[in-house]
Amino acid sequence: MDNEFVHEFNSLLAGERSCVETYDLALGKAKQADVLETLTYCRNNHMARVALLTSHVLSCGGTPNESTGIWGGFEKFVQDSAATERDGIAMLEQAEAERLVNYESQSVLVVGPVRECIESELLPAQHETHLSLSTLLKNLPETQAAQMKAAT
């Protein structure tokens, strides 16, 4: 049974590592102070989840996965395609919303310590990062092109 838990925790760990890489990319492009502050907060939140999941893998007798899996490359591609800072934030917010839905659905599919971790630690943290990005996105001004399109 422990091997099943190690596999599940490592799968979650790969996703969180991918998030950290994506935030690193976004932080490299961010210009505005409020954007930098929110992205740093979210990155650190995901880093804390990496540490938490690493600890769970080790406590189950496993070896923590160092890879981001296929999502690392995909998220890099998506983040690199953002035309503006606002577009990049919108993509991150959507990814955070999807991760929230995934954690909610995974929590009913797994058992034992993995379910407990998702429900008591990952989901609350995911709600925080999603809310932070949603709030930031709501407060960022739309691009001039989008404003002109809305006016017509």
Using alpha carbons, list the distances in angstroms from residue 61 to 7, 41, 57, 76, 91.
11, 31, 7, 31, 36
Of 35, 52, 50, 23, nearest to 132 (Cα)? 35
Which residue ranges make up each domain of the chain? 2-141
pLDDT at residue 72 in the model: 58
Predicted confidence at residue 76, as pLDDT, reads 60
Mapping DSSP onto H, E and C, the string for the chain reads CHHHHHHHHHHHHHHHHHHHHHHHHHHHHCCCHHHHHHHHHHHHHHHHHHHHHHHHHHHCCCCCCCCCHHHHHHHHHHHHCCCCHHHHHHHHHHHHHHHHHHHHHHCCCCCHHHHHHHHHHHHHHHHHHHHHHHHHHHHCCCCHHHHHHHHC
CB of 17 closer than 8 Å to CB of 72: yes
Cα distance between the two ends of the chain: 61
- CA-based nearest residue to 64, from 9, 105, 140: 9
Provide the residue-wise pLDDT of the chain in tens; the chain has 152 residues: 458 899 999 999 999 999 999 899 889 888 899 999 999 999 999 999 999 999 999 999 999 988 876 555 556 656 666 778 888 899 999 999 999 999 999 999 999 999 999 999 999 999 999 999 999 999 988 754 444 344 43
Supply the pLDDT for residue 143: 59
Q: Which CATH superfamily is domain 2-141 in?
A: Ferritin, core subunit, four-helix bundle (1.20.1260.10)
